[in-house]
Structure 1
Amino acid sequence: MPRYALLRHTGAPDDPSGCHFDLLLEDGESCRAWRLSTVPQLNEAAQPAVPLPTHRKVWLEPRSAAVSGDRGWAERIHAGNYSGVLPKTTDAEVTLQLEGDLQGCLRIAVGHCCLSNP
């Protein structure tokens, strides 16, 4: 099964809040990624999900490390597997089932992300 991870990213120079979360979904040799302002909670309102450049798969492993290019610090805080298929295009709606630290139906559409009961 493909994996997911949620990273706490602090000290990013382009983040005025000082802390955000990177949601990573394994996609072949890399990970698709979105910036979230909070950890997704089951059945809470959708939150903005800003697409990010692909991330290296090493971030799916337990780690806490400096981000390349002097872009802050990241720590993996949640992880697991997902079922379903990522769409071929990066701007298409994503609907996957998460298993692991976060559980539920993950939906990313129109720049927003939510986690709901299956």
Structure 2
Amino acid sequence: MPRYSLLRHTDAPDDPSGCHIDLLLEDGPACRTWRLPELPRLNGPAQDAIPLPAHRLVWLEPRSAAVSGNRGWAERIGAGLYRGDLPEQQDADVAVELSDGPLAGQLRIAAGLCALTSP
């Protein structure tokens, strides 16, 4: 099963809040990635999900490191597995089931919003 990872990203120059969560979904040789304002909560409100450029697979492993290009600091705060297929189009809706980690449930990213619901 493919993996997912959650990174706490601080001090990104383009983030006025100073801290956000990067959600990574393994997708072959890289990870599809979205910026979230906070960790998704099961059956909580949908939140903004800003697509980011693909991240390297190394971020699926436990690590804490400076982000290239002087773009802050990232620390992996959680990881697990997911079930489901990612669409070929990068901007298409995503629906996968997260398991074996800090988040469990049906993850849906559509129309710029992310929600985690009971399976």
After TM superposition, the score normalised by the length of structure 2 is 0.98
Counterpart of 2:107?
A: 106
Shift of 1:16: 0.7
Residue by residue over 1:64-88, the C-alpha shift from the partner in whole angstroms, topping out at 9 and shown as x without a partner, is 0000011000000010000000000
- Distance in 1, Cα, partners of 2:64 & 2:115: 25
Residue by residue over 1:61-115, the C-alpha shift from the partner in whole angstroms, topping out at 9 and shown as x without a partner, is 0000000011000000010000000000011110000002210000000000000
Greater than 2 Å deviation, 4+ residue runs: none
- Structure 2 spans left out of the alignment, 5+ residues: none
- Distance in 2, Cα, partners of 1:101 & 1:36: 16
Instruction: Provide the identity percentage.
Output: 69
Counterpart of 2:24?
A: 24
- Structure 1 spans left out of the alignment, 5+ residues: none
- Distance in 2, Cα, partners of 1:68 & 1:83: 30
Quote the RMSD (CA, aligned, Å).
0.4
Q: Secondary structure at the match of 2:32?
A: strand
User: How many positions carry a matched residue from both structures?
Assistant: 118
Counterpart of 2:46?
A: 46
